[in-house]
Chain A
């Protein structure tokens, strides 16, 4: 299949950046990243600079293959990362626009690669459970209600890609942060540090300059793991509870 690609090219964080148009011959069995590999081989053959993009696992679990494809984070296929998006979802002759994540808290490093260390700092602010090291505890030693375990597991599927922020017209990181707060806070192991966690993670999220949530829902609609808006409501109420009733300042 013959495709026209309009790809965002930006030398570095300071440069302005612009779209470049390329023609690529792909086949429908390729993943979107394999199609981008074809483009890069072509560019290298032509002695041109290949397009920088991030990728690692290519199986939908690392959260690095981040691109806005035709205006949608990770492309048109619901619940799918770019690496798992196949070219059969496009047609011969299509023009495809490829951009980096759009949010000031994710500055472009080069072409399609953005700096997502703001997410790392939100995690460092409380997205963990402090345990003494030693023998791992038997997984079934603490009984957890099935429904609660499932909710925690659903939240834990967040791969930290940042599609939610890019999809959000406000550039808000509420879906990501609330997924982490929920996944840890719903389980007894995480409940211990829950108040401190939610207060600190929200404070860090605000400090990083993410926007405020208007409950638009674009985050969840474009999230490759279909993280639910229920998590945002949970974080809000847990935040109110923590601020109003705990000793954490």
Chain B
């Protein structure tokens, strides 16, 4: 094996890939949330539809979005293989569960949380991305020619309680995943410092609460105030 494959298949190398893909997904979440907030404008969806038109036609965004698909798959596949390998290397666990403090539940259940997030993503992509690709979207004209009315798809999805609840479950899993994952990614990169680590941990926890909460507000707002 060359030094590159040695590096990337080593325990630390694999964790480097987990960390970098995870941090990329965190950046993606920020952009995604900022875009989604346009759904809250009371303009019948014009701002959101114009924004999605840009997002689906800009070549730069296209490249980034394919990168995003690859990274999430890489992150998920690698995460699951790491988890399976670790279960084997651990073997028998002790009969009594350890009561040691300072260990979060999330940190021990990253793979379970990841699988939940993945299941949620399948639902989410099937509901919006697939319907859009299959042309199951009506057109709307704001005076600049007909564009896809994705706002209507969002409206239809979020009028169903089960979808709203599935979103809340998926976002709770994301919140726990980030509760551990955000700061963990920096530790994996080797960035641990007495001055900065407490700041990273604080920002990580704030991010883990605020970002999933931001996403959750949208389906709740639709169901409670727009649809009904």
Contact = CB atoms under 8 A, between A and B. Distances in A.
Given A202-B10, A202-B11, A71 B190 contact: no
Nearest to A76: B99
Given A68-B94, A240-B190, A216 B11 contact: no
B133 interface: no
Contact of B98 (A210, A222, A238): A222
Most buried by A among B95, B99, B184: B95
Contacts of A222: 98, 100
A215 B188 contact: yes
B103 A212 contact: no
Contacts of B98: 71-72, 167, 218, 222
Most buried by B among A6, A167, A206: A206
A217 interface: yes
A103 B91 CA distance: 6
A12 B96 CA distance: 22
A239 B11 CA distance: 11
B91 A102 contact: yes
B100 A167 contact: yes
Given A202-B10, A214-B110, 11 more contacts: A71-B95, A102-B92, A166-B94, A170-B89, A171-B89, A172-B86, A172-B89, A211-B90, A214-B108, A230-B194, A236-B190
A118 B171 CA distance: 42
Interface of B: 3, 6-7, 10-16, 82, 85-86, 88-104, 107-108, 110, 180, 183-184, 187-192, 194
A232 interface: yes
Contacts of A167: 98, 100
Contacts, number: 142
Contacts of A210: 11, 89
Interface in A155-214: 166-172, 174, 202-203, 205-206, 209-214
A218 B107 CA distance: 10
A70 B100 contact: no
Contacts of B89: 103-105, 170-172, 209-211
B106 to A, nearest CB: 10
Nearest to B81: A212
A172 B188 CA distance: 14
Contacts of A209: 89
Interface residues of A, number: 51
A221 B88 contact: no
A237 interface: yes
B102 A217 contact: yes
Contacts of A172: 11, 86, 89
Contacts of A214: 82, 86, 107-108, 110, 184
Nearest to A71: B96
Interface in A95-110: 97, 99, 102-105
Most buried by A among B86, B90, B107, B108: B90
Contacts of A44: none
Contacts of B86: 169-172, 211-212, 214
A236 B189 contact: yes
Contacts of B187: 215, 229, 232-233, 236
Contacts of B107: 214-217
B197 to A, nearest CB: 8
A249 interface: yes
Interface string A50-86: 0000000000000000001011100010000000000
A121 interface: no
A240 B6 CA distance: 12
A234 interface: yes
B75 to A, nearest CB: 14
* 8 A-B pairs closest in CB distance: A237-B190, A233-B192, A71-B96, A170-B86, A104-B91, A211-B89, A236-B190, A171-B90
A175 B108 CA distance: 17
B91 A212 contact: no
Contact of B12 (A216, A217, A218, A236): A236
A240 B16 contact: yes
A243 interface: yes
Nearest to A105: B89
